[in-house]
Structure 1
């Protein structure tokens, strides 16, 4: 899988690129970090996305293993669900050629929701996983696409999800049903590999990333419909997942996958690199207080998929 991912990254022009920085981005804030958990590469434990529980448990999707797992604060790994591989092993999965679990969300009642991209119409979709039960698909998604990022709008009881191949954001009601394309704006499109990727809902707007274009986007939600797309930051090659942190909380922490970096982006779109040790192609990030959870899938390094815990400086 590493060779395939490397070939795709090079073809998409995101291989070993670096992130252009402005003079304002040169300062390196003080950050302490440590590798909290090492995952098993041979078992396909490549963490793709993360959601946090109130007790500090990290709920992650292991992409290549097609699994959902709980990582305790002490570092214990518990597999909660494994999805069956399609008959072709996932070879028809667009862009990647292997079936994978991707975005994940945890709701207040402890239910997990996650995406599965398999290239198979019978299994690609949004799944619900209640504690102690088996996963259930609650919305079918196009097998011709690659459902990737997942976010939840609690007041609207609505999921928003990105499709990195189709270049779109769709919505699904909390209880499941038909997925509806919410936006297919050109700013979401792929230009060679993967387009719309990470996604969050924040203060009446959808925030999303475009990996190919290296952009951070904000789309206002106007009576349930998308407003004009705003490019909040650019020049972020390989941008994947995002989280919000700091005061004001419109600071964005972003993972840059192939460049092997985590950056903080201010309200003016300026970015600086956080000095975090142990990164191996970081795919996802979550923030609780001053603690930063960074998961690396080692898609290109093929060395040490892991979970890094970092402490952000006070402001």
Structure 2
């Protein structure tokens, strides 16, 4: 989830993947152009707003799945939507999920139904997570050309599925309130717990949040503990023991690898920052509230493109999608 501010040229030492949400306000349609930002060995240039979303309609941007050609798919938390943003910034709603009977007040922790993680398979299928507090609705869904989504993998009603990854022929999903990572076949079917390592557990709110597969391991952020953990994939595909690889990241949501070893960009929701974590453990704030960050929820690196979403769910009224170029 996210917090926000406008852009400046600063470097500072830095210190949830789902938002707490719910505060409405109007969005400003104006564009924002940012100067280059430098961090040790890493440059973000041409930082700009690609699209602004309608906060009053619940469009708190939560997750990002890039597509060929420069468009991206984004999950919108309380709006229960999946949208596509074209390279020119045009926003099209692909799916709006229905409210469950009774309004979904049984959704874990949040108390309202939400769309969270999105992912795209190698053949172009788009999937998303819906947490409705009810069985038969909570789980992994597929966006279909007909506009009617299809439930691919049901998950227990008491889960809070947050981040979604397509890993070869399987899905991986973080469960923020259960402190688990689930797996399920890409073709659909039953899910099983891949890891319930204590390092994924919450401490009152959200545990396991962001999720990536990198260099023979599954990596996850823990919002409550402010950590990023690495879980090696054991022989046969099982989970090894989690190792904490970064700490001191209170309120971390999503993260991604930059392409330089284990260097990471981390979206810090609670304070609205994008932080670089070097392979040697050094860290710097690349973007903060003065750069337009408001409840920063997700970051994705694709080549020299860096996409960042702000959910403005904890503070601010300007949820948006930012795009920057990465110079190494």
Shorter chain as denominator, the TM-score bin is: 0.7 to 0.9
Cα 1:265–1:119 shift into 2, 3 Å: same
The residue number in structure 2 matching 1:135 is 149
**Within 5 Å, which residues of 2 pair with 1:219-238?**
219-222=231-234, 223-238=236-251
1:242 corresponds to 2:242? no
Partner of 2:103: helix, strand, or coil? coil
The residue number in structure 1 matching 2:221 is 209
1:278-301 deviations in whole A, cap 9, x for unaligned?
A: 111011111122221100110111
Partner of 2:287: helix, strand, or coil? coil
Q: Which has the bigger relative contact order, CA under 8 A and spacing at least 6?
A: 2
User: Structure 2 stretches of 5 or more lacking a match?
Assistant: 3-18, 23-38
Partner of 2:159: helix, strand, or coil? coil
Q: CA deviation at 1:133?
A: 4.5
Is the Cα contact below 8 Å between 1:29 and 1:275 reproduced in 2? no
Write the distance in 2 (CA, Å) between the matches of 1:53 and 1:6: 27
Q: CA deviation at 1:204?
A: 1.6
Calculate the aligned-residue CA RMSD, in Å. Answer: 2.0
The residue number in structure 1 matching 2:278 is 266
The residue number in structure 2 matching 1:184 is 196
Partner of 2:193: helix, strand, or coil? strand
The residue number in structure 1 matching 2:108 is 94
Cα 1:163–1:111 shift into 2, 3 Å: same
The residue number in structure 1 matching 2:163 is 149
User: Match for 2:296 among 277, 282, 286?
Assistant: 282
The residue number in structure 1 matching 2:81 is 67
Cα 1:210–1:311 shift into 2, 3 Å: same
Write the distance in 2 (CA, Å) between the matches of 1:96 and 1:6: 8
Is the Cα contact below 8 Å between 1:65 and 1:82 reproduced in 2? yes
Write the distance in 2 (CA, Å) between the matches of 1:279 and 1:83: 27
Runs of 4+ in 1 over 4 A off after TM superposition: 26-30
Is the Cα contact below 8 Å between 2:75 and 2:117 reproduced in 1? yes
Is the Cα contact below 8 Å between 2:287 and 2:293 reproduced in 1? no
Partner of 1:42: helix, strand, or coil? helix
1:198 corresponds to 2:210? yes
Write the distance in 2 (CA, Å) between the matches of 1:132 and 1:76: 20
1:257 corresponds to 2:263? no
1:203-235 deviations in whole A, cap 9, x for unaligned?
A: 221010000000001101112111111111000
Normalising by structure 1, report the TM-score: 0.88
Segment drifting more, 239-248 vs 51-60:
239-248
Cα 1:6–1:148 shift into 2, 3 Å: closer
Q: CA deviation at 1:269?
A: 2.8
The residue number in structure 2 matching 1:19 is none
Is the Cα contact below 8 Å between 1:35 and 1:278 reproduced in 2? no
